[in-house]
Amino acid sequence: MNDSGTVHIYKFFVTREIIITMPEEVPPNISQAFADIAPFAATISVTLLVDFVIRSTFGTSFAEWLIGIFQPLFTASDGYLGLAIIAGAMSFFWFIGIHGPSIVRPATSAVEYLNIDINIQTHLAGGRATKLLTDPARAFVMTFGGTGATLVVPYLFMFFSKSKRNKAVGKATFIPSTFAVNEPILFGAPIILNPVFFIPFILAPIINIWIFKIFVEVLGMTAFIFVLPWTIPGPIGIPIAAGFHPLSFVLALVLIVVDALIYFPFFKVYDNQVYEDELAAETNKDENKAIDVQEENTVPNTPEISDDVVPTTNIVLDDKKHVLVLCAGGGTSGLLSNALNKASEKYDAPLEATAGSYGSHNDILKDYDLVVLAPQVASNYETIKKDTDKLGIKLIKTKGQEYISLTNDPEKAMDFVLDKF
């Protein structure tokens, strides 16, 4: 039974309230366990029935039968064309504002985990793992530093920018990007929907996975044999996932150099554009300043306005509020929740923020007063709004640069949230 079938069976039972309900006095987590009994039992029963029919007809289990049907797809996925389509599709969808891995991975995850299992068994048997499309290959090669293989991009901005703005963006985004949380650079530069970066954003992941294929099939490097958290920096994750094969260290270094070479000419074009805009803005500022000086000499003196900055954050909450920030994987949401908690501590505000990932939020929504959607899951606004409306919870979505500005300014983030209350 695939994930889609399981979801539909679960939805059928829940929407029709074919569940075991408990008294209100029973704690929610215990009540939920009883509510899940009927839909889970139905799911298991249907799965067993399908497996029985397949075994009776074909003499093999449902899983083995399904793998046999899709074997040509598994084989094609390790070819140059198959790898290019998978890597390019993830980047393309992200470039137009849709979370690419969420679109592509449902079609590739079965192949990834089957391949990593084959690699592990081959390694344990004393052979060399050769299956290419695995979860570590996606996390540490295709998305080297995040979708689009952007690990090097913040460093290019930080060290090679003439533009003050781009240099500041690089300094603000290189740490999260190093740990594969690249939404700050994607929306802060921006790279998303920026035509200058379209080619490298699509090309770098494809070249990366092709280089990995050459290292495994031509140079004799072992493919990945360990599954690791995706937040491990790519240059570290590659050697670990490959069992510290000597060539894996070389591969990590080669990917850094190649990605830098791919992105650098496009980065320079964009940096020159921003730099020229900054020069034009400075020129206009100087001209306006000169005009202001002339006007001051022709009008009577007026009282000066104090330059003292008055904090805009005024805490007006009656009781403690809990805010849930959702993104695709739980990484980007942590940036905003940290900013909110930092401001909350500074102003002694009765507010607490938590980071979460979309899809794992259903059971905890009731514990929050406000849900904030990061840009990559903002398209799910209408879907989640049905649930938040039932619970009487406020829901807001954010846009790219708006979200990044909030993560970099705790006070602004606090104002943004308080305004919703």
- Does the residue 283 lie in any domain? no
Shared domain for 354 and 408, answered yes or no, is: yes
Shared domain for 336 and 382, answered yes or no, is: yes
Shared domain for 90 and 138, answered yes or no, is: yes
Strand 351-357: give its sheet, edge to edge: 351-357, 321-327, 370-373, 394-397
pLDDT digits (tens, 9 = 90+) for 76-129: 667 888 899 889 989 998 888 777 777 788 778 888 888 999 999 999 999 999
Shared domain for 50 and 77, answered yes or no, is: no
Whole-angstrom distance, CA of residue 323 vs CA of residue 340 = 9
* Better pLDDT: 272 or 97: 272
- Kindly state the average pLDDT of the residues 64-83: 67
Residue 69 has pLDDT above 60, yes or no: no
Shared domain for 161 and 119, answered yes or no, is: yes
pLDDT computed for residue 76 by the predictor: 61
- Does the residue 246 lie in any domain? yes
Shared domain for 43 and 121, answered yes or no, is: no
| Surface-to-core class of residue 176, CB atoms within 10 Å of its CB (0-12 exposed, 13-18 middle, 19+ buried) | buried
Residue 398 has pLDDT above 90, yes or no: no
Residue 310's pLDDT band, with cuts at 50, 70 and 90, is very low
Q: Is-contact 120 242, C-beta < 8 A?
A: no
pLDDT computed for residue 305 by the predictor: 36
Mean residue pLDDT across the chain: 82
- Does the residue 298 lie in any domain? no
- Kindly state the average pLDDT of the residues 185-196: 87
* Better pLDDT: 289 or 58: 58
- Does the residue 359 lie in any domain? yes
Shared domain for 89 and 225, answered yes or no, is: yes
With a CB cutoff of 8 Å and minimum separation 6, the contacts of 279 are: none
- Does the residue 287 lie in any domain? no
* Catalytic residue flag (residue 79): no
Please tell me what DSSP assigns to residue 138: I
pLDDT digits (tens, 9 = 90+) for 146-159: 999 999 999 999 99
Whole-angstrom distance, CA of residue 240 vs CA of residue 262 = 26
Shared domain for 23 and 81, answered yes or no, is: no
* Better pLDDT: 33 or 69: 33
Domain, as residue range, for 326: 321-420
pLDDT computed for residue 102 by the predictor: 77
Shared domain for 256 and 156, answered yes or no, is: yes
Highest mean pLDDT: which of 64-68, 154-158, 286-290? 154-158
Residue 74 has pLDDT above 80, yes or no: no
* Ramachandran angles phi, psi of 325, nearest 5°: -105, 125
Catalytically annotated residue among 327, 349, 365, 378: 327
Which residue matches tokens 């990590």? 252
The fraction of the chain above a pLDDT of 90, given in percent, is 31
Shared domain for 75 and 224, answered yes or no, is: yes
pLDDT computed for residue 67 by the predictor: 55
- Does the residue 310 lie in any domain? no
Residue 296 has pLDDT above 60, yes or no: no
pLDDT computed for residue 391 by the predictor: 83
Instruction: Give the number of domains in the chain.
Output: 3
Shared domain for 78 and 208, answered yes or no, is: yes
- Does the residue 292 lie in any domain? no
Shared domain for 345 and 202, answered yes or no, is: no
End-to-end CA distance of the chain: 43
* Better pLDDT: 63 or 408: 408
